[in-house]
A and B are shown apart, each in its own frame.
Chain A
C-alpha cells in the first residue's frame, strides 16, 4: 500500500478490489489494537520459544542475543505469550504506563 486506505478514493480502487501486491498485509499495523503490551524480563527467560510458538499474530522474532522479542507493530496485546511463558518472564503492562 502506497498510502493509508482511508485516503483512497473509489476511482483509485482496482476492479473487484483485487490486491496486486502479494503479502502487503504485513504493512497493516495491527499493533494499534492493543491496550496491554508484553514486557520481557531477560533474567527469567530460558529461550524455550513458547511465546514465539503461541503468539497468534506471529509477532515474535528471535534477536541476535537469542531472545524472542514481540514486534509491537503487530502485537495485539492478547496476553497469550505471558500466559504460556513457563518462567513468568513476560508481563503485560498498560501501554501508556510505559511512556
Chain B
C-alpha cells in the first residue's frame, strides 16, 4: 500500500499530474486553481517533472496550447476556474469535437457578476454541453485518484475524449487532507504512455478541424454523441481496474443509506460528505432518509440515477448553481431521467451554497424538513434558493 500523508488537496492534484508523467502543461493563474499549476511549475523548474510548462497570456491560449500539443500526441494538462473557464469555453468544444484526450481540473468558482472568488458550480455549468467527460469529486483522495482514471480513460482508443475533474474551489482545493499516494510502478502499469490514434506529424500529414457543410455536420455530431454515450461502460471498466489496483472503487452514481429511504438527498461534489453526516443524524432521529451522489455529470448516467432513485417517495436535489430563468441544472437532469416512469418520486429543488456560502449538516436537515412539509401540502415540484433573506 502507498504512503498516506497529509497534504493540501491542490498539491495532491499536482503530484498526481506529475505521476501521470504529462508532457505539456499550459495554464494561466486564476484563484482558486492557482496552487495546482504553481506546484507543477516548481516541479518542472526543479527538474522533477520532465515536461514543457507554457506560461500563456490567457486561458483561451492555455487550452489552445493543450489542444495543439494533444494533436501532436502529447499528454497534456491544464487547470482553471470561473472566468478563466468562460474564456476557454470556445476551445472546450473544439477539443471534444476533435476527440483529443486531455485533462483539465476545474477548481469550481462562481462566475461574475457580482464578482466573487468563492465556490459554486456556475463555471462548469456554462460549458455543460461541450462534450467532455465530466466528473465531480468529493474529497482529496478522489481528486488524486481521478487524475489517473481520467488519463487512462481519455486516451483509450474506444473513448478519445477530453476529461474534466470538478473539485469545489477552496472548500476542497485549499484544505489539507490525508492522501494515500500510489507507488509509481503501479501508476506506470495502470497508465502506459499515450499512443495517439491520429497525430499531427510531418511524415504522415492529416487534416484536423476541417470545415463541415450542412450535408455532413449532423453525421459528425451524431458520431461524437454516440461515442460519448458509449463511453459509460468504458468509464465503469476503468474505475473497476483502478479499484482492483487500489481497493478504491467508484461509480457513476454513489449511494449512501439509500436503498430503503423514502426521501433521498441528491448532491454533486463535496456537498456529499456533509450531506452524509446529515443523513446519519436524520437516521438516528428515525427518519427514512438516504443520499445519492452524482459523480459522473457527463455523459449523464440516466440509467444509474433512475435505478438509485426510482423507489423513493421524494428527492431533494441540491444544486450549487442556478440556471437563471429555469431551476438548478442537476434538478433539471434528474427530472428528465425520471420523466418516463409512471411511478416516480417527486423532486424538490434547492439551490444552496452559491458563491461559497456555508451549507452545514443542519442546513441539509432543514432542507429535507422543508421539502417534506411542502410535499405534504401538495407542492411536489418546488424550487427555491435556500436561505435567501427577505
CB distance from A76 to the nearest CB of B (A): 15
> Which A1-53 residues sit within 8 Å CB-CB of chain B?
5-6, 8-11, 13-20, 22
Do A19 and B220 form a contact, CB below 8 Å, given A5-B215, A10-B226?
no
Known: A15-B198, A17-B212. A8 touches B219 (CB 8 A): yes
B residues apposed to A, CB below 8 Å: 97-100, 160, 197-198, 205-208, 210, 212-213, 215-216, 219-220, 222-223, 226-227
Partner of A16, one of B99, B213, B215, B219: B99
Which listed residue, A8, A14, A20, touches B216 by the CB 8 Å rule?
A: A8
Please indicate the chain A residues that have their CB under 8 angstroms from the CB of B222 in the complex: 10
A13–B226 Cα distance when bound, in Å, is 12
Main secondary structure of the interface of B (DSSP, over half): loop
Q: A11-B223, A22-B206, A22-B207 are in contact. Are A16 and B198 (CB under 8 A)?
A: yes
Which bucket holds chain A's interface residue count? 10 to 19
Residue of A nearest to B219 (CB): A10
Residues of A within 8 A of B219 (CB): 8-10, 13
User: From residue A23, how far is it (CB to closest CB) to chain B in Å?
Assistant: 8
Binding site for B on A (CB under 8 A): 5-6, 8-11, 13-20, 22
Nearest 8 CB-CB pairings of A with B: A16-B99, A19-B207, A10-B219, A10-B222, A6-B215, A22-B205, A10-B223, A5-B216
Contacts A10-B222, A22-B207 given; does A16 touch B160 at CB 8 Å: yes
Q: How far is the CA of A6 from the CA of B100 in the complex (A)?
A: 25
Number of A-B contacts (CB under 8 A): 51
Taking A15-B160, A18-B207, A22-B205 as contacts, is the C-beta distance between A6 and B216 under 8 angstroms? yes
**B198 A18 Cβ-Cβ under 8 A:** yes
Distance (Å) between the CB of A29 and the closest chain B CB?
12
Tell me the complex Cα distance, A14–B99, Å.
10
- Which chain B positions have C-beta within 8 A of A5? 213, 215-216
- Least CB distance from A14 to B in Å reads 7
Selected from B206, B212, B226, B227, the residue in CB contact (under 8 A) with A18 is: B206
Question: Separation in Å of the B208 CB from the closest CB of chain A?
Answer: 6
Q: In the complex, A14 Cα to B100 Cα: how many Å?
A: 13
Contacts of A19 in B (CB 8 A): 206-208, 210
A40, B207: Cα distance in complex, Å: 36
Flag if B220 contacts A14 (CB, 8 Å).
no
- Closest Cβ neighbor of B214 among chain A residues: A6
What are 6 A-B contacts with C-beta separation under 8 Å?
A13-B219, A15-B197, A17-B220, A18-B98, A18-B208, A20-B198
Known: A10-B220, A11-B223. A16 touches B207 (CB 8 A): no
Query: CA–CA, A10 to B219, complex, Å?
Result: 4
Chain A residues lying within 8 Å of B227, measured Cβ to Cβ, are 15
In the complex, the chain B residue whose C-beta lies closest to that of A12 is B219
Q: How far does the alpha carbon of A44 sit from the alpha carbon of B369 in the complex, in Å?
A: 91
Q: How distant is A18 from chain B, measured CB to nearest CB, in Å?
A: 5
Q: Which residue of B lies closest to A14 (CB)?
A: B198
Q: Do A16 and B98 touch (CB < 8 A)?
A: yes
Q: How far is the CA of A46 from the CA of B91 in the complex (A)?
A: 50
What 14 additional pairs, Cβ within 8 angstroms, besides A13-B216, A17-B220? A8-B216, A8-B219, A10-B220, A10-B222, A13-B223, A15-B160, A16-B99, A16-B160, A16-B198, A17-B212, A18-B206, A19-B207, A20-B206, A22-B207
Residue of B with least CB distance to A20: B206
Contacts of B226 in A (CB 8 A): 10
Question: Chain A residues near B206 (CB, 8 Å)?
Answer: 18-20, 22
- Separation in Å of the B303 CB from the closest CB of chain A? 23
Contact across chains for B212 and A16 when beta carbons are under 8 A apart:
no
Least CB distance from B92 to A in Å reads 15
